[in-house]
């Protein structure tokens, strides 16, 4: 069962969402503050976090929670007030999706269901399957059609980040920060170079995995 940690005050939206997943292979736990969320996240290791940003729960606390429990690659959905500008979250690569409050329970539930499908692609042995492409995140091996693909560490990290977030667009700056961190000082063109090399190793006429999003960056296709 995929568990959902909801950090929010009780509302009609949360009540209805909490009622639905229990009948569809998901388990929900609702907590009302950051401290409870940290404790429960460490105990339960949630596969998805839904956080309501308000006067008592700040965005930086949610981002800390997302990384503290070692699940930063897992989805994070934020519930935002209308006054929160889209530009304030557009460059935050840790946010998977968001809903503007008061929100529609059915819309939020559908978004959770879509993310559930993505989570199922990452099995208990940390194997990511994308058609003929198999990524072993424990052994750091990549295979295509059963054959081993030799990748550099940076190429592997780019592929792992993109493949664990299918359909999500990453800017070049975001990928540079995630893969190179503080080890590289230079332009974003290095991301393009490594993506091109990665594509040459895993893509051909029958296999297309990575899409270029013009003027933004890259994403891994949902259905490669």
Q: What is the pLDDT of residue 157?
A: 92
CA distance 5 to 76: 10
Residue 96's closest CA among 68, 114, 74? Answer: 74
Q: What is the pLDDT of residue 202?
A: 94
DSSP state of 21: G
Angle of helix 12-19 relative to helix 105-120, nearest 10 degrees? 40
- Yes or no: say if 147 and 201 are a contact pair by the CB < 8 Å rule: no
Q: What is the pLDDT of residue 197?
A: 95
Domains recognised in the chain with CATH numbers: 2-120 (3.40.50.2300), 127-220 (1.10.10.10)
Other Cβ atoms less than 10 A from the Cβ of 93: the count is 19
Q: What is the pLDDT of residue 192?
A: 93
Q: What is the pLDDT of residue 73?
A: 58
Residue 96's closest CA among 120, 117, 112? Answer: 112
Q: What is the pLDDT of residue 20?
A: 63
Exposure of 177 by Cβ count < 10 A (0-12 exposed, 13-18 middle, 19+ buried)?
A: middle
Residue 18's closest CA among 108, 118, 81, 100? Answer: 108
Place of tokens 């308000």: 54
DSSP state of 178: I
| Model confidence pLDDT, tens digit, residues 5-63 | 888 877 777 777 666 655 455 677 888 888 888 888 777 667 788 888 877 778 778 77
Residue 27's closest CA among 13, 6, 52? Answer: 6
Which residue numbers in the chain have pLDDT < 70?
1-2, 17-26, 44-45, 67-74, 84-93, 117-125, 182-186, 224
């Amino acid at each position: 069962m995929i568990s959902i940690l909801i950090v929010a005050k009780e509302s009609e939206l949360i009540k209805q969402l909490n009622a639905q997943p229990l009948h569809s292979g998901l388990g929900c736990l609702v907590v009302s503050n950051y401290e409870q969320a940290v404790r429960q996240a460490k105990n339960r290791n949630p596969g998805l976090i839904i956080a309501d940003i308000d006067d008592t729960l700040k965005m930086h606390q949610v981002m800390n929670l997302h990384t503290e429990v070692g699940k930063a690659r897992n989805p994070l959905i934020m519930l935002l007030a209308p006054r929160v500008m889209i530009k304030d979250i557009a460059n935050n690569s840790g946010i998977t999706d968001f809903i503007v409050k008061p929100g529609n329970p059915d819309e939020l539930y559908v978004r959770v269901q879509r993310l559930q499908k993505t989570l199922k692609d990452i099995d208990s042995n940390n194997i990511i399957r994308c058609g003929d492409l198999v990524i072993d995140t424990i052994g750091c091996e990549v295979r295509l059609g059963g054959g081993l693909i030799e990748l550099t560490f940076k190429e592997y990290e780019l592929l792992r980040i993109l493949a664990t977030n299918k359909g999500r667009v990453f800017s070049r700056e975001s990928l540079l920060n995630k893969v190179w961190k503080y080890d590289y000082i230079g332009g974003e063109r290095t991301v393009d170079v490594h993506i091109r090399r990665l594509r040459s190793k895993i893509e051909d006429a029958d296999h297309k995995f990575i899409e270029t999003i013009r003027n933004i960056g890259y994403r891994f296709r949902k259905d490669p």
